Every structure is written in C-alpha cells, then in structure tokens.
C-alpha cells in the first residue's frame, strides 16, 4: 500500500471554527490532491498540488485553503467550518501525469478523515 497517512481520522467541530486536516506521504510523489466524498456526488476535487508551494483550486474550493511547504505534507484548512462541509475528506497522491499511451498514473488514496461540523 502507498504510504499515505491522514490525520485526524475523525473530527467533530463547531460551526465557525477553523479546522486543519493533514496528509502525509512517504512516496515522494509530486502530485497531491484533496477530495471530498458525499452521498450521490462521488468524489469532488477541492484543491491540488503539483509541487512544493504549487497549488491550485479544484471544482469545490470555496471555504477551503491548502498549503504544501514540503513534498511529503499537504494541509487542508477549513477557514470557518460550516455544516455543509460535513463530509469525508480523502487525500490522494499521484506519481506522474499520464502519457497518451498509458493514461494517468493511478491515484493512491489515504483512508479518509470523517469531519462533522455541528
């Protein structure tokens, strides 16, 4: 299994508080992603990183920020948590972009953080 650790695994927080989720990898992969998973929506991309200090927004980035100061760590921050951000958050890593013959390299996922905002 790819070395990806998400912390915490579970968190309950109150509306309006800041929350930071951590993703740590031991694979030295260049690309890292944060997704959220909600029933009926599959996985939706929040933010991604293509190198240290290189990050960009995904399709559901409002209310979230990220930082990547080291290759191995990718932090997701909910600046002021809302109930709509109650979800399961997954970090994923990828070694490379795909070529025309092989397609994208697979995403390797952590085991998720279940966040409840009350």
Partner 1 sequence: TQLLEQSPQFLSIQEGENLTVYCNSSSVFSSLQWYRQEPGEGPVLLVTVVTGGEVKKLKRLTFQFGDARKDSSLHITAAQPGDTGLYLCAGAGSAGGTSYGKLTFGQGTILTVHP
Q: Which is nearer to partner 1, 46 or 117 (CB)?
A: 46
Q: Which is nearer to partner 1, 72 or 112 (CB)?
A: 112
Q: Which of 96, 93, 1, 105 is nearest to 48 (CA)?
A: 93
Binding region for partner 1 (CB under 8 A): 4, 31, 33, 35, 40-45, 48, 50, 56, 58-59, 90, 92, 94, 96-98, 100-112
Q: How many CB atoms lie within 10 A of CB 32?
A: 25
Q: Which is nearer to partner 1, 35 or 64 (CB)?
A: 35
State the minimum distance, in angstroms, from the CB of residue 15 to partner 1: 26
State the minimum distance, in angstroms, from the CB of residue 17 to partner 1: 25
State the minimum distance, in angstroms, from the CB of residue 109 to partner 1: 3
State the minimum distance, in angstroms, from the CB of residue 39 to partner 1: 9
Q: Which is nearer to partner 1, 20 or 50 (CB)?
A: 50
Non-local (6+) Cβ contacts of 34 within 8 A are 21, 23, 45, 46, 47, 48, 58, 64, 66, 74, 76, 89, 90, 91, 92
Q: Is the distance from CB of 115 to CB of 22 less than 8 angstroms?
A: no
Q: Is the distance from CB of 23 to CB of 5 less than 8 angstroms?
A: yes
């Amino acid at each position: 299994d790819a070395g990806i650790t998400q912390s915490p695994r579970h968190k309950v927080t109150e509306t309006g508080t800041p929350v930071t989720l951590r993703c740590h990898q031991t694979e030295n992969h260049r690309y890292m992603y944060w997704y959220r998973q909600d029933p009926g929506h599959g996985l939706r991309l929040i933010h991604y990183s293509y190198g240290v200090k290189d990050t960009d927004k995904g399709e559901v980035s409002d209310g979230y920020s990220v930082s990547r100061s080291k290759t191995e760590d990718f932090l997701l921050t909910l600046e002021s948590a809302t109930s709509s951000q109650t979800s399961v958050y997954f970090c994923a890593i990828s070694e490379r972009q795909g070529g025309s013959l092989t397609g994208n390299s697979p995403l390797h996922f952590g085991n998720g953080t279940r966040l409840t905002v009350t």
